[in-house]
């Protein structure tokens, strides 16, 4: 690595013994790494007998994505935002026609389980990259539909040091602050840490006629600690916490002839969505010999979800109102 942080690799040439080939890769390059980490082994991308797309950290930053759904908008074979904009923040994803929200949702090689409306959500700022493997992948990952899987790869501690603080301001009273800190804890570099955090207070483009905007608030914290006692052994401890609050499901009044209005259905004093989730786990690896490596990953997580919505019925199109509504209440863990 040179003074600019660029990676310089030197390899012997096959032409002569005294010739070396020098290759330089800029540190801010969005080039895809030549290896993808699978739960069972590391495989060169060119050797994977499947269609694979990799969204790098540099690409996520350049697009300034605010969700995993936004990151996947330009991936071949992937359809996002199936039901339009959803303030609840679900990753509505289809891969080759199969729903990837439920059985195809992976984080660091482990499936993120779900229950009813209680889905684990992922903060994109905490990701190093996103792998999309199209086609059946059960032999390498586990349960999944035939369309493929989406594997979200978290940021790891970096001995070179990361010290980043960012503030964002945007439309609809959007205020967001985030930080990413990583470094060595000792001179030998055996202990490494990384802490990623984010806080957002924001409205959305949806507003009740006689009331406030629908919210899009988030609080996120993810500490990580890595122990490297030797070149062959690695143990990483992970944890994260996320809390989201919004105005629940958004539905607009639609006139005969499928003409939508700017009238939101429901009651802003009742409609709400809140989810708290956390996870803890570890990643352990031990190089036993030149061709044998033992790896074990474990993660425990829990989500608590509350979703309240008034389901409108019997609309009056002359006044853009409804005569009655049915309450919908969901509490899921």
Distances, alpha carbon 43 to alpha carbons 23, 24, 46, 155, in Å: 22, 23, 8, 20
Residue 33: its pLDDT value, please? 57
Tokens of 269: 């004093």
- Enumerate the domain spans of the chain: 1-30, 32-154
Residue 202: its pLDDT value, please? 94
Residue 256: its pLDDT value, please? 77
User: What is the pTM (predicted TM-score) of this model?
Assistant: 0.83
- Superfamily in which the 32-154 domain is placed by CATH: TonB-dependent receptor, plug domain (2.170.130.10)
- Beta-carbon contacts of 299 under 8 Å, excluding residues fewer than 6 positions away, are 107, 108, 110, 238, 279, 280, 281
| pLDDT tens per residue across span 143-200 | 888 889 999 999 999 999 999 999 999 999 999 999 999 999 999 999 999 999 999 9
Closest CA to 318 of 263, 251, 271, 249: 263
Average pLDDT, the chain: 84
Residue 128: its pLDDT value, please? 96
User: Ranked by mean pLDDT, which of 75-89, 138-152, 168-182, 259-273 comes out on top?
Assistant: 168-182
User: Ranked by mean pLDDT, which of 83-87, 141-145, 268-272 comes out on top?
Assistant: 268-272
Residue 61: its pLDDT value, please? 94
Nearest-angstrom CA–CA distance, 101 and 116: 12
The two most distant CA atoms of the chain are separated, in Å, by: 86
Averaged pLDDT for residues 254-263: 78
Averaged pLDDT for residues 137-141: 76
Residue 3: its pLDDT value, please? 46
| pLDDT tens per residue across span 11-58 | 444 444 444 444 445 555 555 555 454 454 566 777 777 888 999 999
The more confidently predicted of residues 86 and 301 is: 301
User: Ranked by mean pLDDT, which of 22-26, 110-114, 181-185, 250-254 comes out on top?
Assistant: 181-185
Given the DSSP bridges, would you call strands 105-107 and 148-154 parallel, antiparallel or unpaired?
Answer: parallel
Residue 326: its pLDDT value, please? 75
> In the structure, what pLDDT confidence band is assigned to residue 103 with cuts at 50, 70 and 90?
confident
Nearest-angstrom CA–CA distance, 53 and 42: 16
Which of the 8 DSSP states describes residue 267? -
Averaged pLDDT for residues 78-103: 85
| pLDDT tens per residue across span 217-247 | 999 999 999 999 999 999 999 999 999 998 8
Residue 127: its pLDDT value, please? 97
> In the structure, what pLDDT confidence band is assigned to residue 206 with cuts at 50, 70 and 90?
confident
């Amino acid at each position: 690595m040179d003074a600019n942080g660029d990676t310089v690799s030197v390899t012997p040439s096959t032409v002569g013994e005294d010739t070396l080939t020098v290759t330089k890769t800029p540190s801010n390059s969005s080039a895809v790494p030549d290896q993808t980490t699978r739960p069972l082994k590391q495989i060169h991308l060119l050797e994977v007998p499947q269609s694979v797309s990799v969204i790098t950290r540099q690409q996520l930053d350049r697009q300034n994505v605010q969700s995993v759904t936004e990151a996947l908008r330009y991936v071949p074979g992937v359809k996002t935002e199936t039901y339009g904009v959803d303030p609840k923040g679900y990753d509505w994803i289809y891969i080759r026609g199969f729903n990837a929200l439920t059985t195809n949702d992976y984080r660091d090689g482990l499936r993120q389980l779900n229950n009813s409306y209680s889905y684990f959500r992922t903060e994109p700022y905490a990701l190093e990259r996103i792998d999309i493997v199209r086609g059946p992948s059960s032999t390498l990952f586990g349960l999944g539909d035939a369309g493929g899987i989406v594997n979200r790869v978290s940021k790891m501690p970096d001995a070179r040091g990361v010290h980043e603080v960012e503030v964002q301001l945007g439309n609809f009273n959007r205020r967001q602050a985030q930080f990413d800190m990583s470094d060595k804890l000792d001179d030998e570099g055996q202990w490494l840490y990384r802490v990623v955090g984010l806080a957002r207070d924001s409205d959305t483009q949806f507003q009740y006629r006689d009331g406030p905007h629908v919210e899009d608030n988030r609080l996120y914290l993810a500490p990580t600690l890595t122990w490297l006692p030797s070149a062959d052994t690695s143990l990483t401890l992970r944890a994260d916490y996320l809390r989201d609050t919004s105005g629940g499901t958004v539905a607009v009044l639609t006139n005969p002839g499928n003409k939508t209005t700017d009238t939101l259905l429901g009651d802003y004093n009742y409609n709400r969505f809140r989810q708290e989730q956390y996870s803890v786990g570890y990643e352990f690896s031990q190089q036993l010999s030149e061709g044998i490596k033992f790896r074990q990953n474990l993660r425990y997580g829990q989500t608590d979800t509350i979703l309240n919505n008034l389901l409108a019925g019997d609309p009056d199109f002359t006044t853009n109102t409804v005569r009655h509504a049915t309450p919908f209440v969901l509490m899921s863990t």
